[in-house]
Amino acid sequence: MTARLAVVTGGSRGIGFGIAMRLAADGWALLVTARDADRLAAARAELLAAGAAGVRTVTADLAADAGVQAIVDAAVEWTDRVDALVLSAGVGTAGPVATLPVARYDKTFAVDVRAPFLLLQGMLPQLRAAAAANPALGARVVALASITGVHAEPGLAAYGAAKAALISLLETFNAEESVGGVSATAISPGYVDTDMSAWTRGTVPQDAMIPVDDIAELAAGLLRLSARSVIPNVVVGRAGGDGRRA
């Protein structure tokens, strides 16, 4: 493996696919994961056509620990170094505290917090190895959080709490690992123009949402920074808003 390798969860659609396509254009090798095998196969073909140095896929459900372990195992089988871990997979849950079913709360935390925690643990040896092999760039984790993890919004209690927990997790990760060249950045945008945000187009027009390409460009830029720069969280608001609403 001569190219830099990125593991991208949720990489068959939406923001994850956008980031994977941006990295493919830069010649990265990619390990892409998602739940849908057919979508993964289609994504793999597009990523190779875009210039990826190599693409492997893992069909995995991050709500289950076995799915997380399958991703770690696939990365270890391919190489001993991971230069970037992009945590894009997630679930969105809307509903007020008063009536939100606890099962939806639990799944939100399983996918949006527990799975990233387990992936950080499982891939840390490979991230450390990449940082040791390339101390100038180090290795970096990029995780998709949300502006609702920074500023509370009615009706998004579980989602906002999960994203706030993810942001906090990455901050502690930086306190522990950045001295060795492995750091993490949360990207916390308002509504991005993806299928996941389609439910709110009645109140937030599609042309007012953040383009996927903007988030992909931001992620690619973070992965070009030196190991000496640690950026815990980047909040991306929508034009015309007050910077505190999704």
For residues 126 and 161, give the distance between their C-alpha atoms in angstroms, rounded to a whole number.
29
- If phi > 0 it is left, if psi is from -120 to 50 it is alpha, else beta; for residue 79 that is beta
Residue 109 φ then ψ, to 5°: -70, -30
For residues 190 and 192, give the distance between their C-alpha atoms in angstroms, rounded to a whole number.
6
Write down the catalytic residue from 28, 109, 159, 191.
159
Nearest to 237 by CA among 147, 145, 143, 142: 147
- Asked if 191 is an active-site residue, the reply is no
* Residues 6+ positions from 38 with CB-CB distance below 8 Å: none
For residues 198 and 192, give the distance between their C-alpha atoms in angstroms, rounded to a whole number.
9
Active-site annotation, residues: 159
